[in-house]
Amino acid sequence: MSTEPDLNQALFERAQKVIPGGVNSPVRAFRAVGGTPRFITRGDGAYIFDANGRRYIDYIGSWGPMILGHGHPAVLEAVQKAAVEGFSFGAPTEREVELAEAILALVPSMEQVRLVSSGTEATMSAIRLARGATGRSKFIKFEGCYHGHTDALLVKAGSGLATFGNPTSAGVPPEVAQHTIVLEYNNLTQLEEAFALHGKALACVMIEPIAGNMNFVRASVPFIKRLRELCTEYGALFVFDEVMTGFRVALGGAQAHYARLIPGFKPDMSVFGKVIGGGMPLAAFGASRAIMSHLAPLGSVYQAGTLSGNPVATACGLATLREIAKPGFFEALSTKTRTLTDGLKTVARENGVPFSTDSEGGMFGFFLMDQLPQNYTTVMTTDKERFNRFFHGMLDRGVYLAPALYEAGFVSAAHSSADLDATLDAARQALR
C-alpha cells in the first residue's frame, strides 16, 4: 500500500471550502458512488491522469465531446493557432460561418443554425424560439431526459438530480413549471392522451432520441414515428435534443439513424453541443429558415451571448468535425464500441451477473439487469449498490467510468484494442 499522501483527497478538502460540494457540476462529486473524486491534471489520447499521477482509461470523455480522444494533433494545432490570433472579439468571424456551414452540410433537417456556448443555453433558446414561432406556451418533455438546468426543464429530470434521488429542483417556482408536461419515455398511450388533451396548446415536444442521462435508453422507432405524426397533426414543433448524440452516435446525429429507419423522417428543430465544440464551450440550435427567421435580429424572439461562436471554440469544433467526417471514421468507432459492450456482456455472463447493454456509434450504456429498460422508472430499479462496487472495482484497476449508474459512457477513436482488452480484464476481476 502506498504511503504517499492522496493529493485527490487534499484537493477535494480544499475545494469544499470554496466551491459548493467541492465541484462545479454535481455528478463529479462521487456522491452517488461514494469515495473521493479524482482531480484530473491532464489527458492524452484515451487516458486521463489524476493528481497522484495515476493513469485511467477514460470512458467519460468530458461527457461526450472527446470523440477523437484527448490532445488530437489536428485539433491542438487549430486551437493553438486560433488562440494566438485572439480569444474573443464580440464581433463576427469567418470561422463562425465555416462551422455553421459544416454543421448544416451534415444535418439536412436544418437550414440555419445559431451558435451558443452551452447545451443548456441551446435548449433554453430552442424552447423560447418554438414558443415564439407558434404563439403557444406548453411543451412536452419526457421523464429521465435531461435538457439542461433551465427552470422549466428541471421537472422530473434525470442525470445529476436523479443521482441525489430528487426528482425536481428547489428554486423552480410552480408557475414556471406549469407549462411543462412530463410524460413517460416510450409510452405511446400517454403520448396519445397528452396530444388529445393539450395538442392545440403545445409549442413543441423536446426529446433526447437516445437518452444519455438515464444511462443509455433509446426511443423506439414506433414512438419516434408517432411523435412525428402527432406534432405534424397538431402543429407542434418536434425538437431533437442532440447535445449528447449529435455527431457522437452517427455523423448526422441520432436523426440520421432514425431517418434510415423511418423514410422521410426529420425533426423540426435540433439542438447540438459537446462534439461540435470538441471539448470547448460551444453548442447550437437550428431549424428551417422560416422558423429561424423569428430569432433576433430578424424577428422578435431574443437571444444573445457575448462568447457565442468565439474564435477558439469554433476552431476546436471545426477541426473536430473535419476529422470525424473522414471516410470510415464512424464504422471504426462503432466497431470499437460494440467490441467493448459485447465483451462486458460476456464477462458478466461468465460471472453470473445480470447484465444488458446497448450502443450506437461511440456512445454506450449498460445495466445490471437482464433486460434493457425502456423508461426512467425501470432504470431506477437497477441494483445501485452492485453498480457502486463495480464502479470502484474498475476505478481501482485504472478504468474511469461515469460515477453514477444514470450516465452513458463514451468510446473515442483513441481507444486501442489493448485498451479495450485491459478494460475487459479489469471488469472480469471487478465482477468476481
List the beta bridge partners of residue 400.
58
Q: What number of H helices and E strands is found in the chain?
A: 15, 16
Q: CA torsion sign, 177 to 180 to 185 to 190?
A: positive
DSSP for residue 278? B
DSSP for residue 88? -
Preceding amide of 311 cis, omega within 30: no
Q: Which residues contact 149 (CB under 8 A, 6 or more apart)?
A: 120, 169
Whether 158 and 406 have beta carbons less than 8 Å apart is answered as yes
Q: Which helix (H) or strand (E) holds 209?
A: none
- Residue 162 pLDDT: 38
Instruction: Report the candidate in 118, 133, 138 with the shortest Cα–Cα distance to residue 301.
Output: 133
Nearest-Å Rg of the Cα atoms of the chain is 21
Greatest extent of the chain over all pairs of C-alpha atoms, in Å: 67
Whether 258 and 225 have beta carbons less than 8 Å apart is answered as no
Count of beta carbons in the 10 Å neighbourhood of residue 400: 22
- Residue 276 pLDDT: 97
Count of beta carbons in the 10 Å neighbourhood of residue 338: 15
**Residue bearing cell 479495450:** 420
Domains of the chain, start order = 7-60+327-431 (3.90.1150.10), 73-324 (3.40.640.10)
| Residue 341 CA neighbour count, 13 Å, CB half | 24
Q: What 3-state DSSP class applies to 45?
A: strand
* φ and ψ at residue 204, rounded to 5 degrees: -165, 170
Whether 211 and 217 have beta carbons less than 8 Å apart is answered as yes
- Residue 311 pLDDT: 97
* φ and ψ at residue 70, rounded to 5 degrees: -85, 135
C-alpha cell at 69: 480522444
Alpha carbons 248 and 245: distance in angstroms, whole number: 5
Q: What 3-state DSSP class applies to 70?
A: strand
Give first-to-last CA distance, the chain, whole Å: 22
Helices of type H across 325-414:
329-350, 376-379, 384-396
List the beta bridge partners of residue 205.
140, 238
- Residue 155 pLDDT: 76
Alpha carbons 430 and 428: distance in angstroms, whole number: 6
Q: Which residues contact 280 (CB under 8 A, 6 or more apart)?
A: 79, 312, 313, 316, 317
Residue 381's Cα: distance from chain center in Å? 22
pLDDT means per 10 residues, the chain with 432 residues, are 83 97 93 95 98 98 97 98 96 97 97 97 97 96 91 63 46 81 94 95 98 96 98 98 97 97 97 97 98 98 95 98 98 98 97 96 96 94 93 98 94 98 98 91
Q: Enumerate the active-site residues.
A: 146, 241, 274
**Residue bearing cell 487516458:** 47
Alpha carbons 427 and 131: distance in angstroms, whole number: 47
